[in-house]
Chain A
């Protein structure tokens, strides 16, 4: 009797706590209008827009593999879907390119027809049949007004240039080089020529889930020597450690007018590189407060509120019972980076990949879209159940494919719905289910923003791994004001990458944006800056150009795109570098 009574007390106390914890930490999602007041409309319009692209990645075929690796082929073929938004023909309308790495597949280049539809023209541009392409970055490396392409593949990265209407390879990065999803374009030495930061991600297996030391290499800088010739620059950055890097983000982390780098690292802690006064980089140590999630996938940066420092969003793996910390939102507090993703309710989005901040409803608060899902199948077998059989072992055991469990058609965090986190000021609310976003639960990877109709309604393209591409047209009728900016550098790099913009609104509020379209995961977003103004009017725009000019632009037109040319504004000051 005493035992039963004790058991009852024990049980009641524990259940009581669980109920308390559920209310505190896992509030049930509110439904309907109480969730988010404004009606957000993001419709999947790929069929209507004439987009018919299915990503194919069977680069790693079973016959090429040793017996041991065959059983985990889905894992090897799991990360290569990317998308690049670019105005390739300089007509002022955004086009996009999606590579497909399978040997017999075709990459697609969609040209914007200015009516919400696209026409596929990869063959015409010489971009249909490339050698195992995984990610493309369009940028103007010689400041001539046309876009060159940095193309990474399962082999060495290459540079392509438009010659007579067709793209041709003009530069191949020297050996040793490897497959890379993570790169960013920046002008770190501020010489007016865009440089490249790149980090490899190999197909070897990690020797640890949290402190892997057998990755393919560290972060590297390639300096633009002019005429689109690049040379490895170990003077500015040298990282001998071997990591698995998924993405490289660029941001002025400490508000010092620098271009700091954040490497989203899988199987280890993220690495942060602060830019020094002389332009070189030093790895920052112990600046993250209690970083527990070690599966960094993408890096996005934004001023989430009117704060001094930008916040860095790192997508991670979230799986109850296994990996419980989820995505992170790091913000510098003057000494350390503090994660506030849980407080802002943006930490849980499954196995997250591409992420992008954008003001969906032009209310002046940047929202967040996250693509997710790793490997989806229909067998009902869950690879998380199998993983416990082999991850609890020594490092030597883990990086040998013989010791991994066979997939046998298993899903691994598959069939997950992408997230749309609407910014409410203090926190965010995920409305993806409410608006039927990502109904097919595809395995999203690269995620880019695109304003197809130049109407200030920013939509999204999600490159899904080995699945159909998702194209979301933003059809939200918010009635809010907005302004779009196309920046053209003259002494700075022509793409104005690295510029920062501050908009002053009629109510005195200031909104800050930085121009790094390659931030995120395996994607290049709309190269124009889009700023939601809410019901306010615009007073002025202040641009800090990468080369140091600080200019003020007034009399700009709201609710349309404005072209700002460096040195054509009212000069406020010239920042020394």
Chain B
């Protein structure tokens, strides 16, 4: 089935599944099969921000004062986050857009990816300010073994889905031998790859950012690197919305509210999906170990950080029906919530009344009685 950028066939998007139906033709939102995606688009756009709006100049002075161990923690985290957003800035577009069949979902994926590119640009903004030659930091991302190992696990599900989609859309169903490897391509196999890929993306958005978020906010608790922390808060807010979208997609499938075949696959791959999540959790814990190899930082150590990862994992796994596999009682880093609260994200003074500021927002509902007590 060849991909077309404008499907000439008349389709009823109310009857299409989210993925692998007819390609989208008209980008219309007057009727929606899953209205949640348009609501997420609206919310996400209301969060628009630019890295350059945040002043990071004071961070340069703070950075010089950090110990070598702390400098290692700080730059390693930025490298890892740069990797994550490099992947997320392009992959949802390339992997999902060619197989999406609902206009609202298509636009959501594009909006999502766009915000990941803002995140990528903000890392350059931060690093340019800290280093006279930031290219050393960027160059290390592709050679650093610790980061490379994570990159493999993050990108492999995307790559697999993209490759099979390419085979399917150019040659159709069948068995193909390419470079000595045999690939069986059919819709069922593709849907299974999509399901695993979505689980991997969900785990990425749910877990993989949180060790570095915790470190950033731990610096901010000591009133260090506050410009950076402001940027990361905006990023954390966006990632929360992205996570909500992958949770919705997974739950729509699992509860049989979309493609019935995906509900079957979700059951079939239940354990595999859970393993993907648990692998992400253990990799985050290993990351904490790597960060603190030269020494920990004030207010944070490997043990408490690992407990926090488990605490977050419990919540995130429960949200997609995977139960709560870890035994953690209470939030081990309660101050994290102050940084993850949407209302506390600092915005322009005129916007402080409402965190998702809408341009030109007015209350047009004025009752005749509203001015009763008003006197000139």
B partners with A = no
